[in-house]
Amino acid sequence: MFTPVWHSILIAVVSTTIAFLAMLPLSYYFARAKSKFQLPVETLILLPLVLPPTVVGLILLSIFGKNNWFGGFIFNTFHFSFIFSLAGAIIATTIIILPIMYQGLKAAFLSIDHELVWAAETLSATSSQIFRKVILPNCWQPILAGILLSFCRAMGEFGATLMVAGYIEGKTDTIASGIYFMVQQGNMKAAFYLGLFNLLIGVAALFIIHVLTVRQSQLMRGM
């Protein structure tokens, strides 16, 4: 029963990290500047919000399957397939949480008082200095809230992950897929414990997010 928990935590941590690193510069750029590429890029990022996870999984299967050109190239070159592997589950989960991460980071950057940035620019601060000494200190709390929300969504991902990684006990099983198949097998006790573990993580994360939101509101009112 501990293997699905370990797999879920590993997938959630890695996918959240990838999503954060990928969306941080993009959300920062689009929060500060207008671009003709913003609409198509944001549409692509936000698509998983309006698509069923199984459709996302189907798209990934068509890309990474060994019978398709990209998946076949990876398999023939590196003798590795993302299908039925934790790596595939990480990719699927990352795609699913990208919209949450992007929206959270962008909202955090948009909450910054532009006068602070303007004042730093008048003092000849570089873009790097502005980001490190003005932006991050004033919006790290909503950024952390977005990361936690993305992590919780990653912990509960089921549809796309099951489509890409399948359910191989001891290899690709997660909390969500484990609960589903345990119920199918009539093992309600084990399914209940897995669900309770996931519930506790969610409640703890939501509590932290609430505290961060309240503190950010107090900070904004005090400015």
Q: How far apart are CA 191 and CA 162, in angstroms?
A: 17
Q: Any residues with CB less than 8 A from the CB of 164 and at least 6 apart, and which?
A: 57, 60, 61, 64, 82, 83, 88, 89, 91, 92
Q: What are the tens digits of pLDDT across the range 131-184?
A: 888 888 888 899 999 999 999 999 999 999 999 999 999 999 999 999 999 999
**CB contact at 8 A, 5 and 197:** yes
pLDDT (0 to 100) of residue 133: 86
CA distance to 23, 63, 75, 85, per residue, from 79 (Å): 30, 16, 4, 13
Q: How far apart are CA 66 and CA 82, in angstroms?
A: 9
Backbone angles phi, psi at 201, to 5 degrees: -60, -45
pLDDT (0 to 100) of residue 116: 82
**Percentage with pLDDT > 70 across the chain:** 97
Q: What pTM was computed for the model?
A: 0.91
**CB contact at 8 A, 154 and 16:** yes
Average pLDDT for the chain: 91
Q: How far apart are CA 165 and CA 84, in angstroms?
A: 4
**CB contact at 8 A, 65 and 126:** no
Homologous superfamily (CATH) for 2-222: MetI-like (1.10.3720.10)
pLDDT at 99 over 90: yes
Confidence band of 223 (pLDDT split at 50, 70, 90) = low
pLDDT at 130 over 90: no
pLDDT (0 to 100) of residue 222: 59
The domain segmentation of the chain, as residue ranges, is 2-222
